[in-house]
């Protein structure tokens, strides 16, 4: 296993170009305008494609690093690191990997080691191991750091936390930070869920946006920089997409889905993650982890699946179908399987809170009582506060809780407008 010293030697062995004079941040706007679901569909041109079509002009004469994983591919499916190495040669010097690692195979929460990338021969520094923020020595051989990760649109998914901390590190070391933009698979219209209580800020809630923010990574980077959500602000560039519009969910983009992590295997997985991920933070429940359809189930021990699915269906939640199921992986668990229409109007986080309430009610709050210590703390961090847990343990109705989000959501929608690019 490569050590920090051996990786540093490897990186420094790559000759560096002279420092290119600073250039203005690349705040390019897409020519796309918001459309309707009846408009033309994909394929979208990704940020990496836009960069290539420009002849890599923004990187000319600069030493470049890349935050990446298996999702970092161009429109044709060619790995971005291959595209960049062919174009930049020895000026492409370093790689950096988030949670789940270079290949996206590590399970959630498992520390990732730094390694040498077999595809390019470059050092791949882990940003989910000994550090989650690039150390100064990791940035010593670059002038600009690119970010090209496929996010899934939920605050608790850690790729945007990696982005924020990397932006801060670049600012501190005088490096430019450039986002190669990608679609939000949930689309750009949904803004849903609770705000982040600053007391519960963590790596699963690094920036103060709603649980579902409806922004691309490039738009988020602009907002993070302008709002001062990090300790220092880098010179920021965003290479935009072409052809993406806010109404588009992933199936509308014309792009091939690459699993972002082991439990986000398909293009609709981000919808199910949003709907069932919060419930999955409790002990003694079943959301399908370990099956071929993770996050597509909501269940617990002793639940009558027919009654449960019927009660949920009777709520008339738009864009969701509930089917009874009995778990074959967790004996005694049963509940409902969710089918979510990606073009529907479902409030996914209201649904998430309803599911948590209904499962806890039918299991005598056993999941809440079984969730203690660090697991309970993580539940609070993912939700953004301890308010949901306290409401569930007191058996209070979740309607007022959902209603309480609305003022902050309205304020966020207005505030984000100036940072939208599409």
Residue 37: band (very low, low, confident or very high) from pLDDT cuts 50, 70, 90: very low
Report yes or no on 66 lying in a domain: yes
Q: Which domain CATH number covers 329? A: 3.90.1150.140
pLDDT averaged over the chain? 91
- pLDDT tens for each residue of 232-252: 999 999 999 999 999 999 999
Instruction: Tell me how many domains the chain contains.
Output: 2
**252 and 279 part of one domain:** no
Range 298-305 average pLDDT: 98
Q: Are strands 176-180 and 144-147 parallel, antiparallel or unpaired?
A: parallel
Can you give the pLDDT at residue 272? Answer: 98
Q: Is 109 left (phi over 0), alpha (psi -120 to 50) or beta?
A: left
Can you give the pLDDT at residue 42? Answer: 52
Report yes or no on 264 lying in a domain: no
Report yes or no on 104 lying in a domain: yes
Longest dimension (CA), the chain: 68
Q: Which domain CATH number covers 132? A: 3.40.50.12170
pLDDT at 8 over 80: no
More confident position, 8 or 364: 364
Return the residue matching tokens 């847990």. 389
For residue 385, give both structure tokens.
Answer: 């506060």
Coil, helix or strand for 246? coil
pLDDT at 16 over 60: no
d(CA 239, CA 225): 16
Can you give the pLDDT at residue 234? Answer: 98
Phi, psi for residue 119 in degrees, rounded to 5 = -80, -40
d(CA 145, CA 78): 20
Coil, helix or strand for 337? strand
Report yes or no on 176 lying in a domain: yes
Burial 29-49 (b: 16+ CB within 10 A, else e): ebebeeeeeeeeebebbbbbb
pTM of the model: 0.90
Range 65-71 average pLDDT: 98
Residue 68: band (very low, low, confident or very high) from pLDDT cuts 50, 70, 90: very high
Q: Are strands 333-340 and 320-326 parallel, antiparallel or unpaired?
A: antiparallel
Residue 404: band (very low, low, confident or very high) from pLDDT cuts 50, 70, 90: very high
Range 223-240 average pLDDT: 98
More confident position, 26 or 156: 156
Can you give the pLDDT at residue 43? Answer: 81
Report yes or no on 41 lying in a domain: yes
pLDDT at 15 over 80: no
Q: Are 338 and 298 in contact (CB under 8 A)?
A: yes
Residue numbers of the domain that contains 155: 4-259+413-419
Q: Among residues of the chain, what percentage have pLDDT more than 70? A: 90
**112 and 177 part of one domain:** yes
Report yes or no on 167 lying in a domain: yes
DSSP annotation of 79 reads: B
Q: Minimal CA–CA distance to 399: which of 339, 368, 358?
A: 358
Residue 27: band (very low, low, confident or very high) from pLDDT cuts 50, 70, 90: very low
Q: Are 146 and 65 in contact (CB under 8 A)?
A: yes
pLDDT at 2 over 80: no
pLDDT at 25 over 90: no
Q: Where are the alpha helices (DSSP H) in 202-244?
A: 217-227
Q: Among residues of the chain, what percentage have pLDDT more than 90? A: 89
């Amino acid at each position: 296993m490569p050590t920090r010293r051996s990786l540093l030697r490897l990186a420094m062995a790559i000759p560096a170009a002279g420092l290119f004079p600073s250039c203005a941040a690349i705040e390019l706007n897409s020519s796309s305008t918001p459309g309707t679901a009846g408009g033309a569909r994909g394929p979208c041109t990704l940020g990496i494609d836009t960069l290539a079509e420009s002849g890599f002009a923004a990187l000319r004469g600069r030493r470049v690093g890349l935050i990446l994983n298996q999702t970092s591919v161009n429109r044709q499916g060619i790995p971005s690191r291959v595209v960049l190495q062919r174009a930049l040669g020895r000026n492409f010097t370093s790689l950096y990997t988030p949670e789940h690692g270079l290949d996206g195979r590590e399970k959630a929460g498992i520390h990732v080691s730094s390694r040498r990338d077999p595809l390019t021969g470059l050092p791949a520094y882990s940003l989910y191991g000994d550090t989650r923020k690039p150390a100064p020595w990791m940035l010593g051989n670059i002038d600009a750091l690119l970010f090209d990760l496929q996010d899934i649109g939920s605050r608790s998914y850690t790729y945007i936390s990696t982005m924020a901390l990397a932006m801060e590190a670049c600012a501190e070391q005088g490096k430019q930070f450039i986002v190669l933009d990608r679609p939000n698979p949930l689309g750009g219209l949904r803004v849903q869920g609770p705000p982040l209580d600053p007391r519960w800020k963590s790596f699963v809630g690094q920036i103060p946006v709603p649980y579902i923010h409806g922004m691309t990574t490039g738009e988020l980077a602009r907002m993070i920089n302008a709002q001062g959500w990090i300790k220092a602000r880098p010179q920021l560039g965003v290479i935009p997409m072409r052809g993406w519009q806010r109404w588009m969910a992933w199936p509308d983009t014309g792009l091939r889905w690459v699993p972002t992590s082991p439990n986000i295997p398909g293009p609709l997985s981000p919808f199910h993650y949003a709907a069932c991920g919060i419930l999955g933070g409790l002990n003694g429940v079943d959301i399908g982890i370990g099956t071929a359809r993770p996050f597509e189930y909501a269940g617990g021990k002793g639940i009558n699946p027919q009654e449960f699915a019927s009660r949920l269906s009777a709520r008339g939640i738009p864009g969701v179908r509930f089917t009874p199921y009995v778990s074959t992986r967790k004996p005694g668990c049963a509940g409902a399987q969710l089918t979510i229409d990606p073009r529907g109007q479902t409030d996914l986080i209201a649904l998430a809170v309803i599911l948590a309430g209904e499962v806890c009610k039918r299991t005598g709050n056993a999941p809440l009582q079984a969730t203690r210590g660090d697991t309970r703390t993580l539940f609070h961090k993912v939700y953004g506060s301890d308010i949901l847990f306290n409401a569930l343990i007191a058996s209070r109705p979740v309607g007022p809780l959902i209603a309480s989000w609305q003022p902050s959501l309205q304020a966020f929608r207005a505030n984000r407008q100036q940072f939208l690019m599409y």
